[in-house]
């Protein structure tokens, strides 16, 4: 709102250098507060017209103007700030209002006027227990800064952080102690019509949540004080090289994620040994299956296995060549048809097609879903025509004349529709 110069009320000619009301429907219609409150009418102006408050930043709402008084513009910024930043964030509120107000001034003014003043007494019932409490005050409350300030990050490698699920910049873990603790307060809400039992129950939920947070922080502090994280991750360079030599498969990564709760019972070396032994077990099982296959084929010595594998490979190669030579045109046709189906077999709706429809979609380069849509529309339109109901073609835009004619001929030959209809 811009500052005003010398202005006068159009009704009573009173000075309006501090505050006036401007009509949003009439041109050059500005009234003083007295005339506006009395509902003055002049010309085409009526009291029910919309208005705009215009003030020169010197108008005060809570008493006569004095040194350090709060103007109406500052009061408006204060209310916007309390809604945006919440009660207790006085520094952010002072920055929102401007450099003219300090956080201490903002806190004292809001509490004296909007809480302890007449406005607060009229708006906040006395039946509300404790009324307003600043939980950020330096009294060891649940939101006291010393409880939420993160500690310096641990000096551990990136790979070790990923293994632990640890985020050093936030001093948090992906899976914290009592991971579901936040469910105690996630759905809590404060209502003015709550009875004493509901209020006490909500206080109990908050108290339980605070105790869980304290226990979570206590465990972190113990781990830091006794250097448990470094002890958990203690490995020499040789072990690290051995661990990095073998590539971890996707299945093993998923299994490690499932077994993360075991981290608290095992050291890092024990956990790595567990997965290394599981990998060895998997390789041994595969080797046992291979030896059993050799035994079934009469191989009793390892030096005979190489000859057996070479002979098996040659037999398989000759068999493939013979099958290709004797298959003829039928084999080629089947292979070609399978090749055509491979382009659409993974698309939605493929399993709903018959073999002839699969061939049609492959030859037309049409997806099964689009074919089913066109087929449904054509059959429905044909049925309406047979019943004497006029219907307008609703075929999709991607269907040209050639595709339409091919699909119409196919549906006619298959008995789905009749050309005479």
Residue-wise pLDDT for 151-164, tens only, equals 555 666 666 666 66
**For the ranges 97-101, 265-269, 293-297, the one whose mean pLDDT is highest:** 293-297
Among 90, 62, 84, 66, smallest CA distance to 75 is for 62
Whole-number Å distance between alpha carbons of 344 and 363: 11
Burial class from Cβ neighbours inside 10 Å (0-12, 13-18, 19+) for residue 212 reads middle
- In whole angstroms, what is the distance from residue 43 CA to residue 24 CA? 15
Give residue 368's Cα distance to chain centre: 34
Query: In the structure, what pLDDT confidence band is assigned to residue 74 with cuts at 50, 70 and 90?
Result: confident
Between CA 306 and CA 311 the distance in angstroms is: 9
Residue 81, Cβ neighbours under 10 Å: how many?
Answer: 20
Identify which has the larger pLDDT, 235 or 374: 374
- Tens of pLDDT, residue by residue over 181-193, are 888 888 888 787 8
Over residues 15-28, mean pLDDT: 82
Q: Output the six-digit token pair for 231.
A: 């002890």
pLDDT of residue 156: 65
* pLDDT band with cut points at 50, 70 and 90 for residue 133: low
Tokens of 216: 């979570």
Of the candidates 165, 163, 155, the residue with the CA atom closest to the CA atom of residue 243: 163
Distance CA 128, CA 200 (A): 13
The answer to which of 59-73, 178-192, 316-330, 404-418 has the lowest mean pLDDT is 59-73
Pairing of strands 51-55, 172-173: unpaired
- What is residue 403's predicted lDDT score, i.e. its pLDDT? 81
Domain boundaries, given as residue ranges, for the chain? 147-232, 237-291, 300-342, 350-413
Judge whether residue 421 has pLDDT over 50: no
Confidence of residue 329 (pLDDT cuts 50, 70, 90): very low
CA distance 72 to 94: 16
Residue linked to tokens 């190489």? 306
- Compute the radius of gyration of the chain from its Cα atoms: 41
Between 230 and 89, whose confidence is greater?
Answer: 89
CATH code for residues 350-413? 1.10.10
Average pLDDT over the chain reads 75
Q: Which two tokens stand for residue 408?
A: 């119409």
Sequence-ordered list of residues with C-beta below 8 angstroms from that of 169, at least 6 positions apart, any chain = 150, 153
* pLDDT of 272 above 70: yes
Question: Residue 100 has which token pair?
Answer: 């003219």
- pLDDT at residue 62, rounded to an integer: 66
The span from the CA of 174 to the CA of 165, in Å, is: 5
Q: Look at residue 243 and tell me whether its pLDDT is greater than 60.
A: no
**CA proximity to 159, closest of 244, 219, 224:** 244
Dist CA 222 CA 177 (whole Å): 13
Q: 166 phi and psi, to 5 degrees? A: -105, 135
Do residues 294 and 308 touch, judged by C-beta distance below 8 A?
yes
- For the cut 50, the answer to whether the pLDDT of residue 126 exceeds it is yes
Instruction: Name, of 84-98, 231-245, 323-337, the range with top average pLDDT.
Output: 84-98
Closest CA to 53 of 78, 22, 86: 22
Range with lowest mean pLDDT among 40-54, 60-74, 131-145, 250-264: 131-145
- For 22-68, the pLDDT digits (tens) are 898 998 888 888 898 888 888 889 989 988 877 655 566 666 544 45
Indicate the length of the chain as a whole number: 421
Structure tokens, 10: 């159009």
Q: Look at the block and give the residue holding tokens 């072990």.
A: 239
Asked if residue 12 has pLDDT above 50, the reply is: yes
Q: By C-alpha distance, which of 100, 30, 20 is closest to 59?
A: 20
> Which of 192-201, 324-333, 387-396 bottoms out in mean pLDDT, i.e. has the lowest?
324-333
d(CA 158, CA 252) in angstroms, rounded, equals: 19
């Amino acid at each position: 709102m811009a500052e005003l110069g010398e202005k006068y009320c159009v009704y009573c000619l009173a000075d309006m250098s501090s505050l006036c009301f401007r009509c949003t429907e009439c041109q050059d219609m500005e009234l003083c507060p007295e005339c506006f409150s009395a509902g003055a009418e002049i010309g085409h102006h009526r009291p029910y017209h919309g208005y705009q408050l215009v003030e020169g930043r010197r108008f005060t709402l809570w008493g006569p103007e004095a040194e350090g008084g709060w103007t109406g513009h500052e009061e408006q910024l204060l209310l916007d700030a309390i809604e945006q930043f919440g009660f207790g964030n006085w520094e952010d509120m002072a920055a929102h209002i401007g450099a003219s107000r300090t956080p201490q001034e903002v806190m004292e003014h809001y509490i004296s006027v909007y809480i302890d003043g007449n406005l607060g007494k009229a708006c906040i019932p006395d039946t509300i227990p404790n009324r307003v409490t600043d939980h950020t005050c330096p009294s060891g409350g649940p939101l006291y800064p010393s409880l939420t300030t993160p500690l310096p990050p641990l000096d551990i490698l990136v790979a070790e952080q990923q293994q632990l699920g640890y985020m050093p910049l936030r001093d948090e873990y992906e899976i914290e102690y009592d991971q579901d603790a936040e469910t105690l307060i996630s759905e809590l809400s404060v209502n003015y019509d709550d009875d004493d039992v509901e209020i006490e129950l909500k206080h109990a939920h908050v108290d339980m949540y605070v105790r869980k947070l304290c226990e979570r922080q206590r465990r972190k502090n113990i781990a830091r004080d006794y250097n448990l994280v470094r002890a958990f991750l203690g490995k020499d360079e040789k072990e690290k090289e051995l661990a990095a030599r073998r590539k971890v498969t996707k299945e093993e990564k998923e299994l490690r994620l499932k077994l993360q709760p075991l981290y608290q019972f095992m050291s890092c070396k024990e956990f790595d040994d567990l997965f290394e032994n599981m990998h060895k077990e998997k390789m041994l099982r595969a080797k046992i299956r291979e030896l059993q296959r050799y035994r079934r084929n009469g191989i009793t010595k390892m030096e005979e296995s190489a000859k057996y594998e070479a002979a098996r490979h040659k037999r398989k190669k000759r068999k493939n060549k013979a099958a290709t030579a004797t298959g003829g045109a039928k084999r080629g046709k089947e292979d070609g048809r399978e090749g055509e189906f491979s382009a659409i077999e993974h698309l939605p709706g493929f399993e709903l097609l018959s073999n002839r429809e699969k061939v049609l979609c492959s030859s037309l380069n049409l997806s099964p879903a689009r074919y089913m849509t066109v087929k449904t529309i054509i059959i429905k339109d044909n049925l309406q025509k047979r019943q004497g109901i006029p219907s307008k073609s609703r075929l999709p835009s991607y269907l040209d004349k050639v595709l339409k004619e091919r699909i119409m001929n196919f549906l006619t030959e298959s008995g789905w529709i009749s050309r005479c209809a």
